[in-house]
Amino acid sequence: MTIEIDGHMALSSVTFDVDAGTLMGVVGPNGAGKSTLFNAIAGLLPVRRGTVTLNRVDQGGGELAYVPQRESLNWRFPVSASDVVMMGRCCRLGWFRRPGKRDRELVNACLGRVGLWDQRSALMTELSGGQRQRVFVARALAQEANVLLLDEAFSGVDVGAQEDLVGVLQALRDEGRIILLATHDMTNLAGRFDQVLCLNGYVCACGPPDQVLTSEVMEQMYGAHGVRLTMDGSGWTT
């Protein structure tokens, strides 16, 4: 796909495949086009050339759920974890349909999947950053989506909460879902992701982390002197 925004080429000839049951990390510097890519996949940005098809499911419908980088919740409004997840059901079924027993059961089940059933009545303002991210994942599950897009889900989340979230996502991957997660965190990519898509306005590389995260690819993304990175046994670290 090629995407142009206000006369600027945001993404050029981006092509990659994602198989069912894959957890893919999308990495690259600020301005590399990670959020632009997700917005295009979600149908929020027009694609100048090319098409978007994931798991043989065209963009749109209830098959895809998107957790954007900055959630648009009004944090002053007293909304609970269950309320947020129920928004996923309303998005799936229509806002004018009154949720029924099955919807409420599914909301509780989705919160249970992410380990937050006990926190279902807690206000979002009372939850930690990691717990909020898991609520948003539960909301995506409530949409019964096969494809999940998470933009900077690790932002503002401590390492322990990141690992909890990765565990949830890996379990969903094992059920056959496609999950794309954009991140700036280069720590332990090989342990977290099956595939890594390296972006910098174009595809620098795509494949298993231990194969594509070479010095040459890192230089394409960050430049020779932009970031000092070293490779250890667990992956790239700063």
104-126 tens-digit pLDDT: 999 999 999 899 999 999 999 89
Residues linked to residue 66 through DSSP beta bridges, in sequence order: 149
What pLDDT is attached to residue 62? Answer: 47
Element housing 172 (H / E): helix 159-174
| Tokens representing residue 222 in the block | 């960050």
User: CA 110 to CA 113: how far, in whole Å?
Assistant: 5
Whether the CB-CB separation of 149 and 180 falls below 8 Å is answered with yes
| Separation in Å, CA 90 to CA 87, 148, 173, 177 | 5, 17, 24, 21
Q: Where are the domains of the chain?
A: 3-210
- For the chain, the average pLDDT equals 84
Task: Give me the percent of the chain exceeding a pLDDT of 70.
Answer: 84
What pLDDT is attached to residue 227? Answer: 54
Whether the CB-CB separation of 170 and 13 falls below 8 Å is answered with no
Q: Which residue has the higher pLDDT, 54 or 165?
A: 165
Backbone phi and psi for residue 38, each to the nearest 5 degrees, phi listed first: -65, -40
Among 3.40.190.10, 3.40.50.300, 3.90.320.10, 3.40.50.720, name the CATH number for the domain at 3-210: 3.40.50.300
Average pLDDT for residues 95-104, to the nearest whole number? 77
User: CA 49 to CA 199: how far, in whole Å?
Assistant: 18
Write the pLDDT tens digit of every residue in 16-69.
Answer: 999 999 999 999 998 899 999 999 998 888 777 767 765 544 444 447 899 887
pTM of the model: 0.85
Whether the CB-CB separation of 42 and 140 falls below 8 Å is answered with no
